[in-house]
Amino acid sequence: TTFVLLGHWFEIRARGGANEAIRTLLELAPPMAVVVRDGEPVEVPTAEVVVGDLLLIRPGAKIPVDGSVEEGASEVDESMVTGESLPVSKAQGDSVIGASINTTGTLRVRATKVGSDTALAQIVAMVQQAQNSKAPGQRLADRAAFWLVLVALIGGTVTFLVWWAVGAGVQAALLFAITVVVITCPDALGLATPTAIMVGTGLGAQRGVLFKNATALETSARIDTVVMDKTGTLTKGEPEVTDFVAEGIGEQELLALVAAVEKESEHPLAAAIVRFATEKGAAAASLTDFRNVPGHGATATVAGRRVAVGNRKLMVEEAVDFPTALMSRRDELAASGRTAVLISVDGRGVGVVALADAARETSADAVRELHDLGVTVVMLSGDNQATATRIADQLGIDTVIAEVLPGDKAAKIADLQNQGRKAAMVGDGVNDAPALAQADLGVAIGAGTDVAIETADLVLMRSDPLDVPIALRIGRGTLRKMRQNLWWAVGYNVIALPIAAGVLKPVFGFVLRPEIAAMSMSGSSLIVAVNALMLKRLKLPAPPAPSASSAQQPAATAV
């Protein structure tokens, strides 16, 4: 009895380690909150905060509940909740997540979600739901454990009868029978999969990767094709300058002239050009006579010079003559999927600026990690073929499916499944809902505080495509541990039962004592639990370094 209890104590300790992720999440929420009442800050338990309360968040303090910033600006560390490695700037009107840390400025936050409605509470609930759910393999193991109990009882009875029949005596026969019953370990079969699932889901939660159930965890291990939506998943969904060509004028001088014009424009491309000029250190000059030409561009007089920035129609209207070489360069850029904008100064064509949707800093790393896993990467895009191909070539994507309407994405997933592929669809969880539901594994990326996305099997808190291969690695690692545990549990019982029944006694004279059998049984369960905990040592891609954003700089050339 002592050996059995000691073994179970070690087993409980090991299983407790699998719940470390949930305990860590629960400890994130601060026990007290500072609420502003009648203009005075009052400290109250977080559990007493209600929707609509105004909270005072000082530098270094944890934000107690989800809310919206009403006053102040600061940097907020959300890494403990979302896995986002860098602090996020927050100002008036921005949402904040409970349990994140306010680092620099003082904020006044209006509570919008409290109690079980907060993002942290939903994360904990989702992890607990996943850990309590059963994978398909676990159901088989549970049935096997049930039958193993019957095998132990029947085997013990048969062992007693056989030894008694051959004249071993009642005491010896009973000893063998007891040893058979004691050494049988249905616990190892019962623990084989749930312990691995607990560790796998907890490991995912620490990286902002939330599996909704054990089936999703097991399915992720079998994915061989990952389909990603281009805009907002692989790209930032905002333009950036990729090329700046200047002819017959200095690059910095031309940038200053263009920035002056675009600074007055409200076009989305204008903001990208101004941002590029600022990064290059080109100060915008003063201007007069600014004129916005809807659908074509803008003109202005900058430092006494007539500047026009826009498309061909604007240049025709301005009677601008462009050199053949410059127009050829413009056509090359347009053919490669970029938006090419023409620039003229004093009626003479002097430059081209090309813009395109910017790829996320980690997209190329994500594709490379998926390739290392042997996974085919497919990109879906509503853009034309040239634009989609440019991004695909930049990131090393295997297959491009361009000019796809939102309603047709699910059909494209079905086509891949009809080819025998196990497909995962990665999208934003809203526009891609039909495709997420159609896929073998629906992955909602960039969920932020909206962790309860109905159509997704797997929720990624961050807008980081690198979390996709992380999820697949966790799934494969978990399935590998489940299989190892099942093989161990089955192998142990197959070998241990005959030995306990005394098959070695006639040949070698070896008899297994019941106390040793008890130790073996407890040790078997302990090995299964510890092996599952080894999943915590799984090697995962490191979070992006702070300098990653500067890894890809737009090209600027002077002709």
Give the residue numbers marked as catalytic. 229
Q: Please tell me the distance from the alpha carbon of residue 368 to that of residue 363, in angstroms, as a whole number.
A: 9
DSSP state at residue 321:
B
Strand pairing report for 339-345 and 348-359: antiparallel
Burial class (CB in 10 A: 0-12, 13-18, 19+), 366: buried
* Element spanning 302, H or E: strand 297-302
Helix axes 467-501, 136-165, angle to 10 degrees: 10
Strands, sheet with 555-558, edge to edge from the N-terminal-most edge strand: 287-293, 297-302, 305-310, 339-345, 348-359, 235-246, 555-558
Q: In angstroms, what CA-CA distances link 457 with 83, 175, 268, 409, 414? A: 19, 51, 35, 17, 17
Strands, sheet with 66-71, edge to edge from the N-terminal-most edge strand: 40-45, 32-37, 54-57, 107-113, 66-71, 95-96
Q: Please tell me the distance from the alpha carbon of residue 483 to that of residue 409, in angstroms, as a whole number.
A: 35
How many CB atoms sit inside 10 A of residue 403's CB?
A: 12
- Return all residues near 274 (Cβ < 8 A) that are at least 6 apart: 259, 262, 263, 284
